[in-house]
């Protein structure tokens, strides 16, 4: 009869809700790779959409039960009404939980993508530092040229800490939740090691360039003094030649 049919519809819907809860909400999920995380996001999106589509079915069952109750004897009302209320509550709770979990996982995925973006930006900067260090490795030239290289390196090393702080915070957020923790720790260790090595090398190179500038300045000063001295001697000797002075008359200058 109609009661049996309605109870069958209610039961089938209850079974689907229970299965969806077990499949998407009750299991313990571990995300050790980006592929696993991305797959989980996509699965949860599909589950959320499927649950939303079931709204039509729930509405049909609700209308059928209410129409039956309106015509059936009062004795049949209470049990069916109670089953319908339980179904509606369970369905609404399922949708709410699926929406919440889907939103959380989407935020986690966005967090991971943002972390990769910051790491990529910082590694590009480290590549620039590496190239700059190689360019200043055996720099030749005078004090001015070396000073320009030092200024260029110092400007590059005044790189803001903002990105590195963001990397630290995003990584902490993800690993605290046990998400991609091994992969993130590996990436961070590699990045931090490279960052520290290049920073230390930059400090050493800056000191080396400063010493090179000092040496070049001293050399330039010595050369200038020699040039000035040679100019004076050249002027004196030119005067002697013009006056037809013999070398024997000026033995000191002759030497």
Reported as a single tens digit per residue, the pLDDT across 81-119 is: 899 999 999 999 999 999 999 999 999 999 999 999 999
Domain total for the chain?
A: 1
Please report whether residue 148 resides in a domain: yes
With a cut of 80, say whether residue 73 has pLDDT above it: no
For the chain, the average pLDDT equals: 90
Q: Note the Cα 180 to chain centre separation in Å.
A: 14
Q: Which domain holds residue 114?
A: 2-212
With a cut of 70, say whether residue 172 has pLDDT above it: yes
Note the pLDDT of residue 191. 96
| Mean pLDDT, range 213-229, rounded to an integer | 89
188 band by pLDDT with thresholds 50, 70 and 90: very high
Residue 125: CB atoms within 10 A of its CB come to 16
Please report whether residue 119 resides in a domain: yes
In sign, the C-alpha dihedral spanning 150, 156, 162, 166 is: negative
**Residue 77's domain is classified under what CATH number?**
1.20.58.60
Please report whether residue 114 resides in a domain: yes
pTM of the model: 0.78
Please report whether residue 227 resides in a domain: no
d(CA 239, CA 255): 17
> Which position has the higher pLDDT, 27 or 168?
168
Please report whether residue 244 resides in a domain: no
Contact 215, 67 (CB under 8 A): no
| Residues 197-221: b if buried by 16+ CB within 10 A, e if exposed | ebeeebeebeeebeebbeebeeeee
Note the pLDDT of residue 13. 95
Note the pLDDT of residue 157. 93
**Percentage of the chain lying above the pLDDT 90 cut:** 63
With a cut of 80, say whether residue 251 has pLDDT above it: no
255 band by pLDDT with thresholds 50, 70 and 90: low
Please report whether residue 245 resides in a domain: no
Note the pLDDT of residue 126. 97
Note the pLDDT of residue 220. 84
Please report whether residue 255 resides in a domain: no
Note the pLDDT of residue 206. 93
Please report whether residue 239 resides in a domain: no
Name the token pair of 130: 């590496």
pLDDT, tens digit, 9 for 90 and up, residues 12-66: 999 999 999 999 888 767 788 999 999 999 999 999 999 999 999 999 999 999 9
| Mean pLDDT, range 163-186, rounded to an integer | 93
């Amino acid at each position: 009869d109609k009661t049996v049919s309605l109870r069958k519809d209610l039961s089938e819907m209850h079974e689907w809700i229970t299965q969806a809860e077990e499949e998407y909400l009750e299991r313990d999920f571990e995300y050790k790779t980006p592929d696993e995380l991305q797959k989980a996001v996509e699965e949860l999106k599909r589950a959320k959409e499927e649950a939303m589509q079931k709204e039509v079915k729930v509405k049909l069952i609700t209308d059928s039960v209410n129409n039956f109750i309106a015509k059936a004897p009062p004795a049949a009302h209470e049990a069916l009404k109670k089953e319908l209320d339980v179904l509606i509550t369970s369905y609404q709770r399922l949708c709410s939980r699926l929406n919440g979990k889907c939103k959380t996982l989407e935020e986690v995925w966005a967090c991971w993508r943002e972390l990769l973006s910051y790491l990529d930006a910082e590694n590009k900067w480290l590549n620039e530092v590496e190239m700059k260090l190689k360019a200043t490795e055996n720099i030749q030239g005078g004090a001015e040229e070396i000073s320009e290289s030092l200024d260029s390196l110092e400007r590059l090393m005044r790189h803001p800490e903002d990105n590195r702080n963001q990397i630290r915070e995003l990584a902490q957020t993800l690993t605290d939740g046990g998400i991609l923790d091994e992969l993130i720790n590996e990436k961070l260790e590699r990045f931090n090691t490279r960052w520290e090595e290049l920073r230390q090398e930059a400090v050493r190179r800056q000191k080396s360039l400063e010493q090179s500038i000092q040496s070049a300045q001293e050399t330039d000063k010595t050369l200038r003094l020699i040039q000035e001295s040679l100019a004076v001697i050249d002027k004196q000797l030119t005067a002697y030649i013009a006056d037809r002075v013999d070398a024997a008359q000026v033995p000191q200058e002759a030497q």
